[in-house]
Amino acid sequence: MVVTIEGVRLQLAHPVEWDVEWVGQEDVMRHLLASWLVVEPRDVPMNPRLVGKPGVGKTTLAYAAAKRLGQDIFLLQATSDTRPEDLLITPVIEGEGMLKYVASPLVSAMIRGGICILDEGNRMSEKSWASLAPLLDTRRYVESIVTGLKIKADPRFRIVATMNDDASTFDLPEYIHSRLQPQILIDFPGFDEELAILRQNLPFSNDEILEYVAEFLQHAHVNEERYTARDGINIARYAGKLIHMAKDRYGARTALQQSILHTLGEEALRYAPRT
């Protein structure tokens, strides 16, 4: 889709479509949806950030919440080398002596009144965050140095930033920290919720395997290991493949232990259930 703003043609990004569903932990879903709510004409939506260990489902939650609102969803993956122009508008050479301006997923969401998921936002440097400061307060606009445009966000625009709680990230500048509120903490799910997540992602796997993996994950959580449902899905999936290949040469428990060993390493076997 191409739009023209003040004589400048912008190629917009495409919305994303995933087949995912948020399972359990409805309280964090409610907090996220409440932060986006506008209660009267003078109100503005807030800019929440979802914080938790890698793999606890922050991006899945953001997508599922956005899907409930029925708006287009755009994903921008932040990295340590994300530049301000990567967040806004990038010039691209098109043909001989021709330039095309490509809007980021964030700017595309602003223009189309969609929802932007800024994934792993605390991997970005302060310079990149600075370009978003006017968007994250009541002004709700960005300025592109590349094009000279000031782009205001559609009233329907919403944003959420996911942030990993680990040592490989930057601290947020204080002026950004105060603009990304509320902070919504996502913890590991309980046994029943974790089992439901495994069943949702692996509906073809049997309950013996899934219950074993859910119990393994719960043991790991109690001991503050960073193993997540994503790891559990990989363990169960690989164990199923091993069982299929082995053709009854060994049982589910052996396959599961082999899967844990080759997925997470020998140290993870200490959390494997005994039965």
Q: What are the structural domain ranges in the chain?
A: 2-185, 191-271
Please report the DSSP string for 134-175 in residue order.
Answer: TTTSTT-EEEETTTTEEEEPPTT-EEEEEEE-STTSPPPPHH
Q: 52 has which bridge partners?
A: 164
| pLDDT computed for residue 187 by the predictor | 87
| pLDDT computed for residue 248 by the predictor | 63
For residue 141, what are the CA distances in angstroms to 75, 107, 131, 190, 271? 18, 10, 10, 40, 49
How many angstroms separate the CA atoms of 189 and 138, rounded?
A: 35
Does residue 209 contact residue 254 with C-beta atoms inside 8 Å?
no
| pLDDT computed for residue 249 by the predictor | 63
What's this model's pTM, rounded to 2 decimal places?
A: 0.84
| pLDDT computed for residue 130 by the predictor | 93
Beta strand 73-77 with 115-119: parallel, antiparallel or unpaired?
parallel
| pLDDT computed for residue 183 by the predictor | 95
How many angstroms separate the CA atoms of 113 and 66, rounded?
A: 12
List the chain residues with pLDDT less than 70.
Answer: 167-168, 247-250, 275
| pLDDT computed for residue 250 by the predictor | 65
3-state secondary structure of 263: helix
16-33 pLDDT tens trace: 998 777 877 889 999 999
Domain 2-185 has CATH 3.40.50.300: yes
| pLDDT computed for residue 25 by the predictor | 80
137-169 pLDDT tens trace: 999 999 999 899 999 999 999 999 999 877 567
217-236 pLDDT tens trace: 999 999 888 888 889 999 99
**How would you classify residue 19: left for phi > 0, otherwise alpha for psi between -120 and 50, otherwise beta?**
beta
3-state secondary structure of 53: coil
